Amino acid sequence: MTIALPRAGERAIRSIDLSRPVMVLLALFLCGLVLLPLGWLVWYSVTDNNGALTTANFVRLATDPSFARPYLTALQIAASVALGAAAAALPLAWLVARTDLPLRRLIRALVTASFVTPPFLGAIAWEILAAPNSGILNRIAREWFGLGEYEHIVNIYTASGVVFTMACYSFPYVFVLIANALDNIPADLEDASAILGGGRWHTLRRVTLPMVLPALLAGGLIAFVQALTQFGVPAILAMPAGFHVITTKIWALFQHPPEPHLAAAAAMPLLVATILLLQGQRLLLGRRGYTAIGGRSSAPRLVRLGAWRWPAFAFVLGLLSLPIILPYAALIKTAIVRAPSDPLSWATLSWHNVNFVFVEFSQTRAALWNTVLLGLLSATGAAALALVVGYVTSRRLFAGHRLLGLLATAPVAIPGIVLGVGLFFSYTRPPIVLYGTLWILLLAFLTIELPAGYQQIQAAFRGLHPELEEASRILGASRLKSLWDITAPLLRTSLVATWCFVFIGVIRELSATIMLTTANTKVIAVIIYDLNESGDLGAISVLGITLLLITFAVVLIANRLPVLGRTPAPRIG
């Protein structure tokens, strides 16, 4: 057997390894991506309009009641959302993961659909359903119960309405964590409890729930942080009701007359609170964990619901109707009738809204193009960045690999509205002026979505032995070539999942986008927000359904197409 060695010329070419310069440039890019907007944010928060250092911005925040109220309101709403999301997700996850509930796979798919749905679109759907005067549910109640013309049973324009809507689109995060934890509990532990005389309820309370407690706490904190930093739902439901949370207050400070220095100062407590909450989550989960010790554990056994099987299924469908079935039905109904108040019948069916959105409304095509283009570029760029950074940090290639990992993870602590403010300050002045272009939105999306992609890719790297990469290096390949030809194809599933996750995140993003778009760079999310200001619910419904169809179609295609092709096995001989 002979080994085909590279020729002298090939060895000379391969000896020029660009891996290290590429990694250095990557580190510099990440520094600019994360540290530049944060640096400008801090600078603006401690200066006045003349550029002089001052503490007046923070003094005003502490003494002006119009700022204290939004902070307190945001904290109260976030706490309520976390409790509501956890209360909904825990029984749903247990029924799906640990019982013989019918159509469990379908239910998991519906939960995924609620994750894909942008919260601001869900808020508009609930406007259609539960507005006090024109809401579908209130109109039905007036017909059924003989209520007066202005009487209503639900009103979405309240703090409770904001909490309800946010919880509808936060609970999937809690559900996934709890369901995964329940899937991983070995049946041996519950069997041991039963052998020792513990009944089903006792085992659930003393064994199963303590095992999933870390996942429940982690999910609750995620829901809390998301509610605290969200802009879309409060902007659509809270501002018409006459109150602000801190994200909408920061946005209002950029309206006429703009107060950018005060806005920067108002963003700082939100940034600090997010960092502390995420650190608290790590400490909390680190103090109390549960590990099964021993050999191969048996799979968890499903609980037989018996006569409760179909009532439980009805409960689950009722729960899922709140974030998915009712909102989707409301959007479809409003899209296919001429006026939102029209009843659904053959006589009222109309193409008016579709024709307006795609023919008469001049901004639709440009916004659709911007949305899809930014989604594709951001997903591809974030997946590539996550792949390279994950490779460097997991293989510990350079002395500064920990710093690179820290930079890739740091944006998770930056709320979207805060990042939007920082990017606005960074790129509206020379030498780099990106405001008014799609580039500033691309940077925002890369920064926001990189942490999730990096964590997923890094976890995949930990399960991949480096021996094939080492063999490639022995045969003369550079680190980058080994990564592209050997490692990336082996991580196909994780890359596709990361790509899809980032694409969905870009479609859902409104907090940073609302701060950075101009008339020429609007995306569908901003168009929907603008149309909501004018009350054009029919056009919003058409655009919302289009956005959902694009998201589902792109994710489906991405999961069916091969990624990076197949790498042939190395030939020796």
Please state, in angstroms and rounded to a whole number, the distance separating the CA atoms of residues 77 and 89.
18
**Domain 47-285+315-320 matches domain 355-567 at the CATH topology level:** yes
Cα distance between residue 544 and residue 525, in whole Å:
9
Q: What residues form DSSP beta bridges with 303? A: 99
What pLDDT sits at residue 564? 43
Taking each helix axis from N to C end, the angle separating 537-560 and 104-116, rounded to the nearest 10 degrees, works out to: 120
- What is the C-alpha to C-alpha distance for residues 185 and 182, in angstroms, rounded to an integer? 5
Mean pLDDT by 10 residues, the chain (573 residues): 48 52 77 87 90 90 89 94 92 86 85 84 93 89 83 90 93 85 66 57 62 79 88 92 91 86 90 80 56 51 80 91 92 90 84 89 89 92 86 72 77 84 87 89 90 79 64 61 66 80 88 89 92 88 91 77 44 31
pLDDT at 198: 55
Q: How far apart are CA 385 and CA 541, in angstroms?
A: 35
Question: pLDDT value at position 305?
Answer: 80
Are 375 and 554 in contact by the 8 Å Cβ rule? The answer is yes
DSSP string, 176-196: HHHHHHHHTS-HHHHHHHHHT
Pick the CATH number of 355-567 from 1.10.3720.10, 2.40.100.10, 3.65.10.10, 2.30.30.760: 1.10.3720.10
The residue ranges of every structural domain in the chain are 47-285+315-320, 355-567
Report residue 139 CA to chain centroid gap.
34
Degrees to nearest 5, angle at CA 27 with 492 and 412: 70
Predicted confidence at residue 12, as pLDDT, reads: 44
| Class in CATH terms, 47-285+315-320 | mainly alpha
**Best CA proximity match to 226, nearest among 170, 268, 269:** 170
Cβ contact 162:247 at 8 Å: no
pLDDT number for residue 528: 92
